Amino acid sequence: MHNYYYLVMQNTKDLIDQTGQAYQEFKATNDQNSTDPLVVDKLNKLNNSLNSLSSKAANVLNGQAVNQGIKIAVPNLVDGQKSFSDYARSADFISMNGDGYPMSNKISTIITAYLNENSIFRQYANAVSISRESFEFVKNKQDVTAQWSDGTTAPDSIEGYAKINIPLNDLIAQPKVTQKLLDDVQIDLEAWLARELGQIFLAQENEAFVNGNGVNKPKGILSYAGSGTGFIETVKTGDASKITVDGLINLIYSLSDVYSNNAVLMMNKTTVQEVRKLKDSNGQYLWMPGILSGQCDTLMGVDLKTMSNIPGVAAGNICALYGNLEKAYIIADHDNIAIQKDPFSSKPFVSFYCTKRVGGDVINTKAMKLLKISV
């Protein structure tokens, strides 16, 4: 254990050194302002290197120092529950009533942990676990609904509330295995299946939380882009084809102080590569690699995260999201993930038909702002 922590510390120091060197070299190359193909190629390579280093740094800063040999501690099966491994490895097809075989605590725990650790959206949004078909609650329509009283007379009834209903949607995955894998008792089938499902669910969830239209899936942030009541304010970059310093400044300062705490800026990696080149009026770079300060990457001092589902820099695109996701968006998860074994439909493989129920929607449009490539 002692050697393990020494190795982690040494790897962290090496990562800091590599990032610092790459960052200084990137700035020096970008400062040349050259159109020479060799310089441009070098800048692109340094950008890609910083992407890789930032990704590794995020894992370290999140406490995910890599040691794949360490097993995740998970709860045991509930007493009296049929062993999932026995069910999965049984030779016969078992038809389950209702939604299927409830997953073991172990599978559900690994899936939940995987999603929480790897979904940037889930790390910042407000997630709730429910047992019903939808999540219903009452929210304030206005930022301030309280009234002052003179101490003797009760204020008039306070209006400004709305009932919100977020329906759950079925997210279905069908990972396949070979019969040989099923027959291998040395394989931790539950852990393997849970990680497969976690990866599949993660990709679909992130796409829906950002771009979903609300039809048989969660309603995404970008479906609220627009102007007026009920929409998320869109801030323009001031240029028809690129991201600008003024646009970023306007975006960040457009968010109310009420939501600035814990606000995060999100872009895809290609957009981050563009903003790394930007400087303020004093010639200082706006982007800072987080590993150098023990924090996450920042842009103008704001936490910066990457999500591939956000559109890139192109005319008319929303290229960045900024705001307090915890106040802006709710994710509702059903507390049961169901599974059915199917050895027939995809022979010679065995399929596991898995259903996860999840919903999501914007609940406060004022807590988010969007940046659009536009004049």
Q: Residue 75 has what pLDDT?
A: 36
List 354's β-bridge partners, or say none: 173, 339
Query: By residue range, what is the domain housing residue 182?
Result: 95-146+158-268+307-375
The answer as to whether 244 is a domain residue is: yes
Among the listed residues 102, 110, 111, the one whose alpha carbon sits nearest the alpha carbon of residue 84 = 102
The answer as to whether 68 is a domain residue is: no
**CATH code assigned at 252:** 3.90.1690
Instruction: Give burial (CB, 10 Å; 0-12/13-18/19+) of 362.
Output: buried
Ranges in the chain, pLDDT < 50: 4-5, 65-82, 92-98
The answer as to whether 217 is a domain residue is: yes
The answer as to whether 258 is a domain residue is: yes
Q: Residue 87 has what pLDDT?
A: 66
Tally of domains within the chain: 1
Q: Residue 46 has what pLDDT?
A: 95
The answer as to whether 104 is a domain residue is: yes
The answer as to whether 151 is a domain residue is: no
The answer as to whether 18 is a domain residue is: no
Torsion of CA 16, 19, 24, 29, to 10 degrees: 170
The answer as to whether 153 is a domain residue is: no
Q: Residue 4 has what pLDDT?
A: 47
0.85 exceeded by the pTM? no
